[in-house]
Amino acid sequence: MTTNVLNTRELSKDTAQVLRDLPRTGPRLITRGGKPAGILVPPSGRGVEFDIDLLARLRLGQAFSASQQEAVLAGTEKMTAKEIDREIRAARRERKWKKKRSE
């Protein structure tokens, strides 16, 4: 599937036509200053609720992927459950200690 690129100026100038053509043209990448700013996606025909749920799952997948990438960059992707639990306990102790100091 190819994605057509459209800058914000073109979108604001011809919004009605872009929206009218969206089912035919498919997803449109919206750029601002040459950088991606968003994506317009035509409805699937399975209902707005379905599409919104699908987009929410996409965002969850993006967050999970970013989290995995952060773990790899930090070198923590191979931590065991015990090590993770130890880190959580340490963070909670530190948070509790800071809260007591601020009271």
Position 99 in a domain? no
Position 91 in a domain? no
Q: Give tens-digit pLDDT for 16-51.
A: 999 999 999 999 999 999 999 999 999 998 999 999
Range of the domain at 54: 4-77
Domain CATH number, residue 33: 3.40.1620.10
Higher pLDDT, 36 or 98: 36
Residue 2: its pLDDT value, please? 56
- Considering the entire predicted model, what is its pTM? 0.61
Neighbours of 11 (CB within 10 A): 19
Tokens 């209902």 correspond to 47
Beta-bridge mates of residue 32: 35
**Checking phi first, is residue 99 left (phi over 0); if not, alpha (psi -120 to 50) or beta?**
alpha
Residue 3: its pLDDT value, please? 62
Residue 1 has pLDDT above 70, yes or no: no
